[in-house]
Amino acid sequence: MAPGRPIALAAALLALGAAGCGQSDDRDRVRGVAERFYAALKAGDGAAACEQLSADTRATLESDERAACREAIASLEIEPGALTAVEVYITNAKVDVQGGESAYLSLTADGWRLSAAGCTPAQGDPARMPLDCELEA
């Protein structure tokens, strides 16, 4: 074996291991944000639910409902439930919720935040309108 190969191999293995840990850490953070969001909805705590939203999502909700986020979020038809799956794709994530809804998160300057929630497959051609979301930016 060439003299530099063991070091290069060790460095490559460390990089792969670190990437895996980052993915696992992100998955845990995404799960935490989503669980806090759905727990707050279930408890009727609009302020706590809004803390889990991205700034754009919060602004869109307040504009659409013409109310403060903590009040507007109560008008949405989002079913709280246990998470059944968490997928992370670098700076975006998807969580599936028991009952068939999904939520989407983005990595922001404030950490992982929800960018859409209460998403279900749309009626009609999925290529043209793949999801209907109760809340989105």
Domain range holding 79?
A: 5-136
Q: What is the CATH number of the domain that holds 80?
A: 3.10.450
Among the listed residues 72, 77, 80, 99, the one whose alpha carbon sits nearest the alpha carbon of residue 38:
80
The count of structural domains within the chain is 1
Residue-wise pLDDT for 55-113, tens only, equals: 999 999 999 999 999 999 999 999 999 999 999 999 999 999 998 899 999 999 999 99
Q: Which region holds residue 15: left if phi is over 0, alpha if psi is between -120 and 50, else beta?
A: alpha
3-class DSSP state of 5: helix
Could you tell me the pLDDT band of residue 23, with boundaries at 50, 70 and 90?
Answer: confident
